[in-house]
């Protein structure tokens, strides 16, 4: 009897420790052509649909059921191919209760969908949480989807809210977080505009004034993304795609010609130390921008992180003419309009 009670108690503890992952939303991504450019065929040689499962901070998830081929993982996202007409898929992870994703939209071949999951935090230490957040910041150049930046912001919020988050580092962490939030805001509005374009086109036709208005709005947002974040190559692709559609509209023939977007200045740099005994790990250093040469933390804007090899790549914000790295006490470095590289010695 005692052994039986022990087994039951163990079962109850495991059950109570398990955490549920909930489906937050599902949406069609009309402008995401991944399912077409990277197609996968089902057992009947018919094109599959692609489900992008967005789940921050969780690796090692397995998917079962209506799944075709290998599931690909990128930070914050799983790419799951399913046949047209699929109704659901199941997921498993050792730290969570097994569950399923029931598709609330009809699944069509060659289409890409996004499912966002709401996940309880499994990391417990501040070091784990800030590490997850900064992993998003490290890989942001490869992402154009708002869900990626939402996951990044969520990870930063969890780190900032942790009891062990150092008070002396909060301002810098907030700057990192807010940069991800700024990109998320623009990408969300661009995706929203794209959805409105397809809706207007379906209801009123491509040549309608309604379609032209929302398409013009999407183009303006795409221009802002390219101007403010030229290091993200995917935004340039999106901008060109929207431009190509816009110039085909009858109302745009006389007003839209060739648009030249002013891109922010990009600089590649390297950090070295005069005294190797005073050196600190490069990846603990950050790069800041200033409007004046005098180093003032209150006027500083975090614009990048130094990599482990001592190099960094930054985009100089508008109205900022100087940059400096953590630990510098002299004047910040002046950035000339034609500068492409810079060496900083600490």
DSSP 160-186: HTSTTS-GGGHHHHHHHHHHHHHHHHH
Torsion of CA 288, 292, 294, 299, to 10 degrees: -50
Surface-to-core class of residue 157, CB atoms within 10 Å of its CB (0-12 exposed, 13-18 middle, 19+ buried): middle
Q: Residue 39 region, left (φ>0) first, then alpha (ψ -120 to 50), else beta?
A: beta
| Strand-strand pairing, 62-65 and 49-54 | unpaired
176: its two tokens:
């990192």
Q: How far apart are CA 284 and CA 238, in angstroms?
A: 34
Q: Which two tokens stand for residue 328?
A: 């510098």
Whole-number pLDDT of residue 296: 85
The Cα–Cα gap between 97 and 117 comes to 13
- Buried residues in 203-222 as b, exposed as e (16+ CB within 10 A): eeeeebeebbebbbbbbebb
Structure tokens at 7: 């087994």
What pLDDT is attached to residue 255? Answer: 52
Instruction: Give me the residue spans of the domains in the chain.
Output: 18-119, 123-263, 266-345
User: DSSP string spanning 239-264?
Assistant: HHHHHHHHTTSGGGTTT-----PPPP
Task: For the beta carbon of residue 277, count every other beta carbon within 10 angstroms.
Answer: 5
Bridge partners of 28, per DSSP, are 113
CATH classification for the domain delimited by 266-345, as one of 2.60.40, 1.10.287, 2.40.50, 3.60.40: 2.60.40
Residue 49 is predicted with a pLDDT of 95
- Give me the phi and psi of 225, to 5 degrees please: -65, -45
State the first-to-last Cα distance of the chain, in angstroms, to the nearest integer: 69
pLDDT (0 to 100) of residue 123: 57
Please tell me the predicted confidence (pLDDT) of residue 7. Answer: 38
- Return averaged pLDDT per consecutive 10 residues of the chain, 346 residues in all: 39 43 86 86 94 82 92 85 94 87 93 85 76 86 86 87 86 86 92 89 90 90 86 88 88 56 75 81 86 85 85 81 87 88 89
Q: Which residues contact 318 (CB under 8 A, 6 or more apart)?
A: 264
Token readout for 110 is 């060659």
Question: How many other β-carbons are positioned within 10 Å of the β-carbon of residue 338?
Answer: 6
CA atoms within 13 A on the CB side of 172: 18
| Class of residue 281 by CB neighbours under 10 A (exposed 0-12, middle 13-18, buried 19+) | exposed
Beta-sheet pairing, 341-345 with 266-272: parallel
Instruction: Say how far apart CA 215 and CA 30 lie, in whole Å.
Output: 14
> What is d(CA 155, CA 122) in angstroms, rounded to the nearest whole number?
11
């Amino acid at each position: 009897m005692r052994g039986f009670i022990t087994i039951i108690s163990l079962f109850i503890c495991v059950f109570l420790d398990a955490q549920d992952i909930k489906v937050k939303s599902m949406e069609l991504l009309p402008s995401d052509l991944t399912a077409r450019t990277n197609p996968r065929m089902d057992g009947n040689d018919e094109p599959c649909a692609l489900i992008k499962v967005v789940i921050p901070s969780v690796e090692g998830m397995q998917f079962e059921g209506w799944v075709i081929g290998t599931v690909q993982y990128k930070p914050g996202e799983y790419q799951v191919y399913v046949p047209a007409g699929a109704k659901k898929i199941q997921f498993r992870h050792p730290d969570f209760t097994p569950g399923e994703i029931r598709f609330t939209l009809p699944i069509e071949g060659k289409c890409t969908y996004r499912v966002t999951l709401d996940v309880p935090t499994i990391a417990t230490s501040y070091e784990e949480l800030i590490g997850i957040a900064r992993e998003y910041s490290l890989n942001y150049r490869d992402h154009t989807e708002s869900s990626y930046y939402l996951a990044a912001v969520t990870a930063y919020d969890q780190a900032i809210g942790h009891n062990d988050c150092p008070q002396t580092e909060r301002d810098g962490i907030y700057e990192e977080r807010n940069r991800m939030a700024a990109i998320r805001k623009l990408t969300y509005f661009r995706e929203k505009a794209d959805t409105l374009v397809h809706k207007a086109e379906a209801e009123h036709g491509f040549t309608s004034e309604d379609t032209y208005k929302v398409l013009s709005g999407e183009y303006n947002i795409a221009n802002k993304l390219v101007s403010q974040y030229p290091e993200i190559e995917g935004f340039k692709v999106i901008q060109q795609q929207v431009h190509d559609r816009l110039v085909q509209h009858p109302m745009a023939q006389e007003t839209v010609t060739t648009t030249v977007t002013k891109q922010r200045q990009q600089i590649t740099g390297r950090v070295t130390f005069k005294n190797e005994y005073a050196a600190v790990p490069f990846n603990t250093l950050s790069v800041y921008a200033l409007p004046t040469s005098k180093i003032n933390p209150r006027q500083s804007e975090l614009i990048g992180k130094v990599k482990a090899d001592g190099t960094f790549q930054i985009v100089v914000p508008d109205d900022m003419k100087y940059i400096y790295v953590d630990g510098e006490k002299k004047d910040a470095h002046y950035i000339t309009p034609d500068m492409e590289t810079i060496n900083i010695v600490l």
